[in-house]
Amino acid sequence: MKTAGVNHIDLKAALIDMDGVLYDSMRNHTAAWYRMATEMGIDCCREEFYLYEGMTGAATIDILFNRAYGHPATPDEARVLYARKAQYFAEQGKPVMMPDADRMLATLRDSGIMRVLVTGSGQQSILDRLDSDYPGIFLPGKRVTAHNVTHGKPNPEPYLKGMEMAGCAATECIVIENAPLGVQAGKAAGCFTVAVTTGPIPRERLVESGADIVYGSMTEFADALPHLISLFREND
C-alpha cells in the first residue's frame, strides 16, 4: 500500500517545527499571551492563541490591537509587548520535551535524513535548550528562527529558508508540524507535510489546512515513521 502523495518525494531532509512538536510548550505560550493581553484590558480567550501559533509575535499583537483599538501596534509597542509575553512564558519554567520526539528524531538521523529546525519562535529560553535536549540533531546553520525570517507562518518563507539551508528541493523535503498555519506554510513551500495533533487543535483543522497525513500523537508518528520512510524510499 502506498500513501497518497508519497510517490513524488525523494526524501533527503525533514524541516521540523519546534513548539508543539519538540516541546509540549503550547499551553505555556497560550497562558503567556492570555496574561499579557488581559493585563492590557484586551478581551480575548486563551484558546484563540493556539490558532495563531506560527505567526510572528508582532503579527499576533496586531490581531489583538486591530480588534481592540482598530489599528496595529507600533514597532516599539510590539517589541515591548513581545518581551513581556516572552517573560511570562519563561516564568512558567521549562516546558517538557514532547514524549517520543527524541525517538522520532533518532529515526530520521539513523535513516540519514537531514534535520532542519524551522520555527517562528524568537523565544531564546527554549532555543537555548535544543543542544542539550536533542544533542547532535540540529547542526549549526540548520536552524530557521524568528531571527532569520521576515514573515511568519503561514507565509512559506520559513520553510523555503529551511529548504535552502538543507540544500534541497521541495520534492526532497518533508515538513513536520502541529498547527494549522504551519501546515499551510509547509504546503505553500511545496513540501509533503506531516501534521501531528499534540494539543487541543482538532485533527479536522489540520486536514483543512492541507496536511498530507495527520497522526494522533507524537508517539503514533514515531511508531509509524520507519514505515513512512520505507514508503518514500521504495518510490525512489
What mask, x for binding Mg ion by CB under 5 A, covers residues 141 to 180? -------------------------------------xx-
Give the binding-site size for Mg ion (rule: CB under 5 A). Answer: 5
Give me the residue whose beta carbon is nearest to Mg ion. 20
Q: Which is nearer to Mg ion, 17 or 172 (CB)?
A: 17
Q: At closest approach, how far in Å is the CB of 225 from Mg ion?
A: 18
Q: At closest approach, how far in Å is the CB of 166 from Mg ion?
A: 19
Cβ burial 197-219 (10 Å sphere, 16+ → b, else e): bbbebeeebbeebbbbbbbeebb
Backbone φ, ψ for residue 149 (5° rounding): -130, 150
- As given in the structure block, the three cell numbers for residue 138 are 540540529
Told to check if 19 binds Mg ion by CB under 5 A, we report: yes
Q: Which is nearer to Mg ion, 67 or 147 (CB)?
A: 147
Nearest partner of 111 among 236, 23, 233, 16, judged by Cα = 233
Q: At closest approach, how far in Å is the CB of 184 from Mg ion?
A: 12
- Check: CB of residue 215 under 8 Å from CB of residue 224: yes
Neighbouring C-beta atoms of residue 104, cutoff 10 Å = 24
Q: What dihedral do alpha carbons 81, 53, 55, 102 form, nearest 10°?
A: 110
Q: Which is nearer to Mg ion, 19 or 24 (CB)?
A: 19
- As given in the structure block, the three cell numbers for residue 92 are 512558567
- Which residues 6+ apart lie within 8 Å of 211 measured at CB? 177, 183, 187, 193, 194, 195
Q: At closest approach, how far in Å is the CB of 64 from Mg ion?
A: 20
Q: Which is nearer to Mg ion, 73 or 137 (CB)?
A: 137
Q: At closest approach, how far in Å is the CB of 71 from Mg ion?
A: 29
- As given in the structure block, the three cell numbers for residue 77 are 509597542
- Check: CB of residue 11 under 8 Å from CB of residue 71: no
Q: At closest approach, how far in Å is the CB of 181 from Mg ion?
A: 9
> Scanning residues 196 to 235, which ones bind Mg ion (CB under 5 A)?
none
Among 6, 11, 20, 218, binds Mg ion (CB under 5 A): 20
Q: Which window, 12-20, 65-73, 84-92, 193-201, contacts Mg ion (CB under 5 A)?
A: 12-20
Q: Is 31 helix (H, G, I), strand (E, B) or coil?
A: helix
Q: What are the residues binding Mg ion (CB under 5 A)?
A: 17, 19-20, 178-179
